[in-house]
Amino acid sequence: MPKQGKRYRNKASTIEATRLHTMVEACEIVAGGSGAKFDETVDLAVRLGVDPRHADQNVRGTVALPHGTGRTVRIAVFAKGEKAREAREAGADIVGDEDLIAKIRDENFLDFDRAVATPDMMAGVGKIGKLLGPRGLMPNPKVGTVTMDVTRIVRELKAGQVEFRVEKAGIVHVAIGKVSFGKDKLLENLNAIVAGLWKAKPAGAKGQYVRSAALSSTMGPGVTIDPSDLTVSTAA
């Protein structure tokens, strides 16, 4: 096990390792930071009672965070003509059609965080799926990134919409903001994510849906959250 730094150990010493915290308590602790000299990202990890190997137990969705993520999101849009113009006006960082596809294919150009495509571009975009998919950059109609309404989706992504999906072990990882947001803004973002997770609960999920959860900053220890506090009523 790697040796942890002094700041990490100092922060960890203030947290009761075996105690389950409420969402309010967790946000308050994490908002205190770890003493790092930069604005740490705050991440949520939730273990769900699903088996992603089964198609009817996949969990995936998007959530518009009330206070955004605190980071600048670079957006690429695959579109032509009028839709390309709309994407640029909405604030997309990179816009192109076959030329952008070729640049990604030939130069491995992947200098963006999210990708959007109009439906007519998907045949070409699909040809570079092996490059986009593993990095979570493939446009997908299920999360609204394959659409003719490029203005709306670009603005939503710029405003702080985040995408989540369950990993092989049944865990969802998602950033909910920065330490500098403070307890209240972090809590509002956390509530939005929890509501999104429950909305995305698959029909095939059996038994306890939220098994465990923890909140942490980039350089800080995890703060465990009582799964019973991550409910629909709490997040509403």
Sequence spans of domains, the chain? 6-69+161-235, 75-159
* pLDDT score for 71: 86
- pTM, entire model: 0.76
CATH T-level fold of 75-159: Rossmann fold (3.40.50)
CA atoms within 13 A on the CB side of 168: 0
Tokens of 36: 């790092």
Coil vs helix vs strand at 190: helix
* pLDDT score for 91: 96
* pLDDT score for 48: 96
What residue has token string 């209240």? 184
C-beta of residue 121 within 8 angstroms of C-beta of residue 79: yes
Nearest Cα to Cα of residue 34 among 180, 204, 202, 192 = 180
C-beta of residue 200 within 8 angstroms of C-beta of residue 59: yes
* pLDDT score for 77: 98
Each of the 236 residues of the chain gets a pLDDT tens digit; together they read 445 555 555 555 555 666 899 999 999 999 987 678 899 999 999 999 999 888 889 898 999 999 999 988 999 999 999 999 999 999 999 999 999 999 999 999 999 999 999 999 999 999 999 999 999 899 999 889 999 999 999 999 998 889 898 998 899 999 999 999 999 999 999 999 999 999 999 988 888 999 999 999 999 889 999 999 998 655 54
For the chain, report the end-to-end CA distance as a whole number of angstroms. Answer: 39
Taking domain 6-69+161-235, whether its CATH number is 3.40.50.720 is answered by: no
What residue has token string 């990882």? 173
User: Using CA atoms, how far apart are residues 89 and 102, in angstroms rounded to an integer?
Assistant: 23
Q: What are the residues whose beta carbons fall under 8 Å from the beta carbon of 147, sequence distance 6 or more?
A: 116, 118, 119, 141, 153
* pLDDT score for 14: 54
